[in-house]
Structure 1
């Protein structure tokens, strides 16, 4: 009887966490609050919260990355979550960046052709929020949001799904620790100007320029990470 009671309590926490995510309007790629904040918001113990997080990760509803946090997974990513986890163990950072360079410039091109004015407005907001990020961790989360909002702007659910799957693998790939010399990105951080160029090309409805701007941006990211253009 006691074991059944514990099981019901665990199910209740899973349901509570699932409802919290649904009611909070979280989108794939969004980062959940820290465990400490969720314990307070959901009024649960740390042990039960972690069991609930384990259950949702097993379902494919969330994706956890040590040192970065818990993220919302793509709605259809669950069917292949185990395969994605295995794939992430085989993919190198260089291979991951080359995959991004193959997919994301095409996404930028499609966004230039199909983005609505509202999508462009949201993209500008994501760009500006990245500039104002108070820490490197927050910048990375906001930069992630910029790239996903760009994928949403294509108005192509298949491209968005491909992006989400690639992004899921990206979070799990074992990157070397990047040594930061400051608490937050400087205003002169090259990604800011590169984001500007991407947004400008999309707003101008110039697919060739959008493709080239994203290609340049990812080449710059690769160069900073491991000296590869």
Structure 2
């Protein structure tokens, strides 16, 4: 007899018996995982905070309880939540596990190195796409940013226009998913603690005034020519120079000696 569904019949009591969602409820464990992650990183989230029950989460997120349960299992395996029998599910690692210190481990020379490595993985691709897609007015805005960096009177102004330039390129790539990733990296770049380290780096290893502008103009010239490969390479060369500088800075901090 048909059960009115395309699914094969499930033996009673089988461990993976699906919890039938109500009409209109999305059935996707991946969707559940992403929505739960969003809850965990929300501004009002805090370690040790109790999460709603599976039933309440399913109703709140418009998902099936099976999908919620599977996503919670992944988050628990990642150490992002923990459960206590009879008490519920809580955010963060179990209370008997050492907590991460308040001074985030990313606020270090090694953290700066991680950041530039992440930028190396992303920004050359953004430059390649921008070279293929950017309109002439975008090129003019990028040229203005380079001019403003060149005429900056202090490090803060130069950093502001450098950040604006790189975001113009990211936005010109016309890929909203990549732009979200870029904005997240850019937010870390301007974290106050990392900013202090960057200031220390700039004071210790001063770079010639024409150095960044020359590299930026190489990127712009490749974009204006519509040469995606050249734009990507110019961006990669620019970031690799910064990577080498940060690697040296990290080694100096580890050894306590200037190299």
TM over 0.5: yes
Alignment-derived partner of residue 180 in structure 1: 203
Specify which of 161, 179, 192 is matched with residue 180 of structure 2: 161
Equivalent positions of 1:137-152 (< 5 A) are: 137-152=156-171
**For residues 156-197 of structure 1, what are the alpha-carbon distances to aligned partners after superposition, in whole Å with 9 as ceiling and x for unaligned?**
222221110111122226336225379x97543x11110010
Whether the 8 Å contact between 1:135 and 1:185 is mirrored in structure 2 is: no
Specify which of 89, 114, 117 is matched with residue 104 of structure 2: 89
Of structures 1 and 2, the one scoring higher in RCO (CA 8 A, sep 6+) is: 1
Q: TM-score, normalised by structure 2?
A: 0.50
For residues 185 and 130 of structure 1, do their structure 2 counterparts lie closer, same or farther at Cα, with a shift above 3 Å needed? Answer: farther
> Shift in Å at residue 226 of structure 1?
3.1
Alignment-derived partner of residue 115 in structure 1: 134
Q: Distance in 2 between matches of 1:94 and 1:179?
A: 14
Alignment-derived partner of residue 6 in structure 2: none
For residues 130 and 94 of structure 1, do their structure 2 counterparts lie closer, same or farther at Cα, with a shift above 3 Å needed? Answer: same
| 1:170 lines up with 2:189 in the alignment | yes
1:227 partner SS:
helix
Equivalent positions of 1:40-79 (< 5 A) are: none
Q: TM-score, normalised by structure 1?
A: 0.56
Whether the 8 Å contact between 2:112 and 2:246 is mirrored in structure 1 is: no
Alignment-derived partner of residue 232 in structure 2: 211
Alignment-derived partner of residue 133 in structure 1: 152
1:205 partner SS:
coil
Alignment-derived partner of residue 218 in structure 2: 197
Alignment RMSD: 2.9
> Shift in Å at residue 125 of structure 1?
0.8
1:133 partner SS:
coil
Equivalent positions of 1:27-38 (< 5 A) are: none
> Shift in Å at residue 101 of structure 1?
0.2
Whether the 8 Å contact between 2:152 and 2:158 is mirrored in structure 1 is: yes
Q: Distance in 2 between matches of 1:199 and 1:227?
A: 28
Moved over 4 A (4+): none
